[in-house]
Amino acid sequence: MSPWGRASRLTILVDNRARSWLESAWGLSILVETRDTRILFDAGPSPELLCRNAERLGVSLDIDFAVLSHPHRDHYGGFPCVAEVAPGTVVYMPPSPSHVVSWIRKLGLVPVVQSKGLKAAPNAAISPALDGAGLREHALAVKENECVSVLLGCSHPGPSRLAATALRILGAEHACLAIGGLHNAEAAEVEALLELVDRIAPIHCSGRAAEYLASRKPGSYINVAAGDVIEL
């Protein structure tokens, strides 16, 4: 527990795999809770799924702001759930197709498109939007209790590139944890990420990157799914 009795943790709300008490779907959503800030990183593919899983976990989606890693439906489809619980919430997003930006705005949320990286809170930084697979993507870095965590959506530009730039904006050199999609990264890219972080929790689209970590780097591998909580 962090000071004042408020938990500091990452809760996986949506993933391709889920513990038995939750529903799974191809997508990603992680709730970040620190002593000062509540952040939703991505929203999964549908509002029904996000709302049901949050309710089953007993967590509120009344957040300070949200971060959309990139404009794919399996990462932004759940935002109507956020709009219902926390209308007017800012959603930081990379340059995206106009229909995605306008859709988020019509929900009653406030899209903030950014490309250069920024400090979204004293303990939270968003990387510059990097090119990869024909789109722009950014990552989130959060510091809590002397631990920096890097959150990755799908890592289309490469997980180590995203992590390095997020750490730079935060003013940190190393992270204790990276969590998110590694987009089937090759072993060399996983090793490059491990130069920046101590442990990796690969979820969503990680594929062979997760297999490599589990078999070759078990000490750096965290096996998680929707429903799991990582204390910070």
| Domain regions of the chain by residue span | 3-222
The predicted structure's pLDDT at residue 6: 63
Q: What is the mean pLDDT of the chain?
A: 97
The predicted structure's pLDDT at residue 182: 98
The predicted structure's pLDDT at residue 7: 78
The predicted structure's pLDDT at residue 2: 38
Q: Does domain 3-222 have CATH number 3.60.15.10?
A: yes
Least Cα distance to 211 among 153, 219, 202 occurs for 202
Measured from the Cβ of residue 106, the count of other Cβ atoms closer than 10 Å reads 9
Identify the DSSP state of 128.
P
Least Cα distance to 61 among 94, 44, 85 occurs for 85
The predicted structure's pLDDT at residue 192: 99
Full-model pTM = 0.97
Q: Report residue 162 as tokens.
A: 């995203």
The predicted structure's pLDDT at residue 3: 39
| Mean pLDDT, range 191-195, rounded to an integer | 99
